[in-house]
Every structure is written in structure tokens, then in C-alpha cells.
Amino acid sequence: MSTSKMTLSCSPWGEPCAQIGTTGYAFRAIAECSAYKAQLVRHYKEAHESGIPEGATLDVASRPHDFGTYWEVEVRFDDDSKEAVEAAYWLEANAPEAWDDEARSALALASWDEIKRFVKAGPEHFLFCSLGWTETDEFGDDWVRTFHKQATEHGLEAYAKDGHLYVKAGA
């Protein structure tokens, strides 16, 4: 079995998306990618009256970038499966223009499940984002304080060090 992957996007093509290098980028990008992934599954099912076929899967993937880590949705597919290949190319060619209602609701909640999955699967300390300040390791920004509180509520530990926000599995 030969597997290929194709980058789809991080959000519907007509919507603004999180911008790499901005404060809170990783959190917003992972939430957007998670919502977009779920929307693509719904979009495919609505058009085909069935789910994405076996041999094709959607994933939230990270990519290195000059300004940090970039997040996007990709489809992985079995090259030997006609249905999987067709599904992958259909998803690429028929990307939605806007968020649907379910995706908008999911974005309002943000996807802590995805963040936990990345933290638990990755290294002991996960560099979440650059905060753009280095003079303190305190949680001085409202967004960062909120993130720290929410991380704790979800069994994770967030801490700032040398101008970066890190997340690790809670004790």
C-alpha cells in the first residue's frame, strides 16, 4: 500500500484565519484546523451521502516555518484505492468558502482535545507559541492568563519562559 498526503488548508478559503507569528497563533490555528477538519467530513458526507471512504483520512498537521510552526489540515490517502484518491481530490477541489454553523460553534469553544492530543503525543514540553516578550516569565497578558487557566482546567500545565508559552501534561 502506497500512501500520499495532500495539504488542504487551515480554514475555508473565504474566511480569515489565524496568522503565524501573532500572539496566540498556535492555539487559534489548532482550533481552526480542528473545526475545519470536522467541517470537511460533514461537507463530504452531505455531497456523497456517505462518509469519507476507507483509505482516506483527515489530519491536523504541523509544518516548520520561518516564523514558527504552521498548522493546516491534510488528507492522507491510499494511492491504490480509487475511492480514497477520488475523495482526496474531491476535498481539495470542493473546499467550502465559509464556516458552517457547527464549525463556528466549535471555534467559540476552541479545541482543547486536539491540544491535549498534541501535547501527550509529543515531547515532554511542547512549545505552543512565541509571546513576543522576554522581560518576564509571568502570565501578564490577558490572553495568556486565560490560556493558563483553561490549560489547568483541562489537565495541562502551561508556563511562560524566555518569551515563549509552553504546554506539558499536568502532574
Would you state the pLDDT for residue 138? 47
pLDDT, tens digit, 9 for 90 and up, residues 78-128: 999 999 999 999 999 999 999 998 888 777 656 566 666 666 666 555 555
The count of structural domains within the chain is: 2
Same domain, 58 and 105: yes
Same domain, 24 and 63: yes
Q: What integer is the mean pLDDT of 42-61?
A: 94
CA distance 80 to 94: 22
Helix and strand numbers, DSSP H then E, in the chain: 5, 6
Same domain, 61 and 144: no
Same domain, 88 and 141: no
Same domain, 87 and 57: yes
Same domain, 124 and 102: no
Would you state the pLDDT for residue 149? 75
Lateral strand order in the sheet of 3-9? 3-9, 68-78, 56-65
Same domain, 92 and 162: no
pLDDT, tens digit, 9 for 90 and up, residues 60-79: 888 888 877 888 999 999 99
CA distance 154 to 85: 37
83, with CB counted inside 10 A (0-12, 13-18, 19+), is middle
- Which of 49, 51, 39, 35 lies closest to 94 in space, CA to CA? 39
Q: Is the pLDDT of residue 23 over 50?
A: yes
User: Looking at 87, 110, 133, which one is the last position of a domain?
Assistant: 110
Share of the chain above pLDDT 90, in %: 37
Same domain, 120 and 100: no
Q: Is the pLDDT of residue 52 over 50?
A: yes
Same domain, 159 and 148: yes
User: Looking at 59, 93, 110, which one is the last position of a domain?
Assistant: 110
Grid cell for residue 88: 482526496
Look at 16 and 8; give whichever has higher pLDDT: 8
User: Looking at 90, 110, 130, which one is the last position of a domain?
Assistant: 110
User: Average per-residue pLDDT in the chain?
Assistant: 79
Same domain, 69 and 20: yes
Strands (E), 66-131: 68-78, 126-130
Query: Which pTM was predicted?
Result: 0.66
Would you state the pLDDT for residue 164? 62
Which of the four pLDDT bands, split at 50, 70 and 90, describes residue 133? very low
CA distance 127 to 136: 17
Same domain, 138 and 171: yes
Range of the domain at 63: 1-110
DSSP 79: T
CA distance 147 to 22: 15
Same domain, 101 and 141: no
Would you state the pLDDT for residue 137? 41
